[in-house]
Structure 1
Amino acid sequence: MDSKKRIIANTAAQYTKSIVNICLSLYSTRLILEALDVNDYGIYSLVGGVVSIFGYLANSLVVTTQRYISYYHGAGQKGSVKQFFANSVFIHLLICLAIGIILISIGQYVIGHFLNIAPDRVTAAMFVYYVTTLMLITTIATTPFKALLIAHENIVYISVVEVCDGILKLALAFVLFCIGMDKLIFYSLMMMLVVTLNFLAFSLYCFYKYEESHFSVNLKIIDKDCIKQITGFAGWTSLGMFAGLAQTQGTAIILNKAFGTIMNAAFGIASQVNGAVRFVSTSILNAMNPQIMKAEGSGNRKEMLELAGKESKFSTALMLIVSMPLIFEMPSVLSFWLKTVPDNTAMFCRALMIAFIVDQLTLGLHAANQAT
């Protein structure tokens, strides 16, 4: 399959997956909000958001791993592809260990003193904190395998796994109405199970499908130059990730300190709505970025720049088509979607969506910079 047909096929797979997952996610959120109540939903959004601060590092590593694998695929250097994947797995394991130690050691202070949580829910919030820490570690461990799939442009398999993920979360939302234990604790445990299944789906498939994932576990796989390149690239990529972090989780913490967990529920729902419409950007990015990296790796900079320009244009245009009706009709959409709409949710939804549209104008330039 040539590059243009592959981009079309992968974009179609991403769009289909995203539309299905949006429907599943939005309905799941309605059920979860009803089952947990506004306060517990706010606690989960807040605690999960605090832990996910370290998840931005994982996102930068996805970009980094995928970049190097795609680049050296384009250059025809299969040995380098295997070397970079093996060292990426090693780096991710070290990061999992470090983040686990840091988050567990500060847990008591974060939940008991830093965040604004009702005294009778501190114990449940503490449990959620530790479970979401394990979820983050598992997600980071999944990163190199997902990056390998993206580099191979196997977007169809990623889409299938993510649709199954959405179906499982919807099933979990229904189960919440039937259990007698603390629903917030049960919900966090089941979310951990879903994340673990995702890890197994990605890692086992890569071991079965791709030769690059087969390497012996010993100190010989560690290459200092390779690690230096990966960590250096990830370090610069992290700057943009932390800017996004300040915009989202920094805002969530400030809202919590000033207004409490009910305001976090409103902001959490707005973030989910914004995440749902981001499928346009994700679809274009996952379909075109590997081609951009491979074009640069093969020395064809003209094609790389053309693809980067198209990525910015298409992503912005499609985001406008999806977002503008929602921005104008947001109060009606929220009332139709949720039984109980927390105050200020529509305002947060509109602000986040407008900010994201502006960000799409330079999406292709990010990919071009990463390629070079």
Structure 2
Amino acid sequence: MLANNHKRIMRNTGMLYMRMLLAMAVTLYTSRVVLDVLGIEDFGIYHLVVGFIALLGFLQGAMTTATQRYFAFDLGDSGGKDLSRIFNTSLMIHCMLAVCIALVAETAGYWFVSTQLTIPDARMPAAVSAYHLAVVSFVFSVLMVPFTAMLMAHERMGVFAAIGMVDVLLKLAAVIILQYVGSDKLIAYAWLLLVVSLVTFTLYTIANKLLFPKIKLRWQWHSRQFRTMLSYTAWNTWGNLAAALSGQGTNVLLNMFFGPTVNAGRSIASQANGALNSFVQNIQAAINPQIIKLYASGDKSQMHSLVLHASKYNFYLLFMLALPVLLNTEALLGIWLVEVPPYAAIFLQLTIINSLIESFSGPLMTSAQATGKIKLYQTIIGSILLLNLPISYVALLKWQVPEIVLAVTIGISITAFLVRLAILRVLVGLKVMDYIENVIIRSACMSAITVATVYALNIIKASGIADLIFNVISALTISILAVVTIGLTSKERTKMILLLMSVKKKIYKGKKP
């Protein structure tokens, strides 16, 4: 059964990678063009106001996790017997949630954006208009959650990936159109992204109607299901609020202390890191339904094995991709962008380090969510994450340097990860010492030896394009060799060789006339 699960995960991951590679290429291109067309100031303003709306979206994050968990759990426990009821309850809650978020965003949120953020007076009307349009786009993203969760729970990654590719291509078209718009480009960009959100939402609803005809949309009140999901969501909300404040709240702090130019550097770092991190997110998205279904079926042994392997592979994959970027940050940013915003390089390096730490935690978080008993988990982890905001504020008052915010974030991430392990030991019986030995220690040894080797070979600073290419290829090659020889056990290496041979055989077979 575990072998079949691994095959399904690999197949689904492959489909998501196709979507991700297109998204990454388009994101890198569009970020360059939008930064050039809008300018550093407007670019920072747009991502600041959008980031503030995302801060209000902690409720959406809570419901997204709850929806995916309940869909996948029902499929693993009863084969989807109650799926229609769960879907309709979820859709009803998301409609209510969309209204609540819109009301908060257009009252308290509007007041904060128009009076508290550091935005030049001449650009305030455009910033406010972009904010209103971004609120509407966000409402569509909230309503989209039950439909995307249904696809993910059924592991219909091909459809999910296809719609994702359409969304990416539409955003590319929006950026191309933006270059020829004669009116205010900040407002035009917000309008174009609103149209993209509407089209994407329509595609998800059509896909669900065609693929799951047994799921009938009915506005029916299921009080017991509603209370169950709402109770689960209430505790999830605390964790998501803390995560939102930890991420977007510090972006607001940077704006208050240093202005929108620094926000532009943070936004570029976040987008570049997001492109790297999307590799891990795709693996995690393919694994999440399996972790929940294994727990629902009572197979904790296989679930623990999957959690350990997923944590380790998440880190390895991100490390292999991140190392060349960490060593050549300024050179790569110089090639990517027409004009590099201030602090973009140091922000990117620190953000990547934080992502490497967090890459271990994805499977742990999914395990906690699978149990449905998240009161203790969310209370403790949420409280730890929430400390990021006051500590960052105090650190900014003392040192007055933007990068201190990300240094604080890294410390918080390490603390939260260690506490997650302790909680999972109680919640699902995870063997912490096995996890430390097979995941943390092995990953740390592999990373240390790789970095030492890179330094010994002096693959550090590029003085030209040829040096940069050599550095990137060398760092990538060394990290891959280190993962295979040090990061994997002999049993895992054997499985990998057999898998590669199987893929090669299928490719060769497909080429035969």
Determine what percentage of the aligned residue pairs are the same residue. Answer: 28
* Greater RCO (Cα-Cα under 8 Å, separation 6 or more): 1
Please list the CA deviations of residues 310-336 of structure 1 after superposition, one character each: whole Å capped at 9, or x if unmatched.
211111111111111111111111000
The secondary structure found in structure 2 opposite 1:116 is coil
- Corresponding residue SS for 1:60: helix
CA distance in 1, matches of 2:170, 2:217: 32
- The correspondence of residues 255-270 of structure 1 with structure 2, limited to 5 A, is 255-270=254-269
Structure 1 residues 246-255 or 74-83, which shifts more? 74-83
TM-score of the aligned structures, taking structure 1 as reference length: 0.95
- State the match for 2:448 in structure 1: none
Aligned AA for 2:223? K
Distance 1:278 1:238, change over 3 A: farther
Q: TM-score, normalised by structure 2?
A: 0.70
**1:40 aligned partner:** 42
Distance 1:107 1:286, change over 3 A: closer
Deviation at 1:337, TM superposition (A): 0.1
- Number of aligned positions between the proteins: 369
C-alpha distance after superposition, 1:205-245 (max 9, x if no partner): 1012114531322xxx3222212221222233333323332
Alpha-carbon spacing, 1:55–1:212, altered in 2? closer, same or farther (3 Å): farther
Match of 1:101 among 100, 103, 116: 103
Aligned residues of 1:155 and 1:286 also touching (Cα < 8 A): no
For residue 213 of structure 1, give the secondary structure of its aligned residue in structure 2. coil
Does 2:8 match 1:6? yes
Deviations 1:10-62 (A, max 9, x none): 11111222122111100111000111111111110000000111223222222
Alpha-carbon distance in 1 for matches of 2:33, 2:92: 40
Q: CA deviation at 1:73?
A: 0.6
8 Å contact from structure 1 (residues 111, 122) kept in 2: no
> Once structures 1 and 2 are overlaid, which stretch shifts more, 261-270 or 208-217?
208-217
Measure the CA separation in 2 of the matches of 1:213 and 1:329: 50
Work out whether residues 129 and 187 of structure 2, in 8 Å CA contact, stay in contact via their aligned partners in 1: yes
Q: Secondary structure at the match of 2:81?
A: helix
Task: Check whether the contact 2:30–2:175 (CA below 8 A) recurs between aligned residues.
Answer: yes
The residue correspondences of 1:112-127 to structure 2 (distance < 5 A) are: 112-127=114-129
* Structure 1 match to 2:135: 133
Superposition map of 1:259-338 within 5 A: 259-338=258-337
Equivalent in the alignment of 2:354: 355
Within the candidate set 128, 141, 144, 1:142 is matched to 144
SS of the aligned residue for 1:123 comes to: helix
Letter paired with 1:283: N
Q: Which residue of 2 aligns with 1:163?
A: 165
After TM superposition, list the pairs within 5 Å mapping 1:41-80 onto structure 2. 41-80=43-82
1:332-351 Cα offsets, whole Å, 9 max, x none, are 11000001001100111111
> Aligned partners of 1:109, 1:60: CA distance in 2, in Å?
25
Aligned residues of 2:89 and 2:226 also touching (Cα < 8 A): yes
Structure 1 unaligned runs (5+)? none
| Counterpart secondary structure, 1:37 | helix
CA distance 1:223–1:77, shift in 2 (3 Å): farther
Equivalent residue letter for 1:347:
I
1:198 equivalenced with 2:200 (yes/no): yes
1:256-295 superposed Cα distances (whole Å, 9 cap, x missing partner):
1111111111111111112111112211111111111111
Counterpart residue number, 1:252: 251
Structure-2 residue corresponding to 1:344: 343
Task: Give the distance between the partners of 2:209 and 2:267, measured in 1 at CA.
Answer: 36
Match of 2:25 among 23, 30, 45: 23
Give the corresponding residue for 1:182: 184
Larger radius of gyration between Structure 1 and Structure 2: 2
Q: After TM superposition, give the deviation of residue 77 of structure 1 in Å.
A: 4.7
Contact (CA 8 Å) 1:65, 1:88: kept in 2 or not?
Answer: yes
Q: Secondary structure at the match of 1:175?
A: helix
CA distance in 2, matches of 1:163, 1:215: 26
Q: Which whole-Å CA distance do the structure 2 matches of 1:284 and 1:60 have between them?
A: 21
Separation (CA, whole Å) in 1 of partners of 2:323 and 2:235 = 33
Q: Distance in 1 between matches of 2:174 and 2:62?
A: 30
Displacement of 1:78 after TM fit? 2.8
**Aligned partner letter, 1:36:** L
- Preserved CA contact (<8 Å) 2:269 2:345: yes
1:56-77: per-residue Cα shift (whole Å, max 9, x none)? 3222222211111111111125
Question: For each residue in 1:104-139, what CA deviation from the matched residue of structure 2 results, as whole angstroms up to 9, or x when unmatched?
Answer: 123542232111111111111110111111011110
Structure 2: stretches of 5+ with no match in the other structure? 372-513
Give the superposed CA RMSD. Answer: 1.5
Aligned residues of 1:107 and 1:129 also touching (Cα < 8 A): no
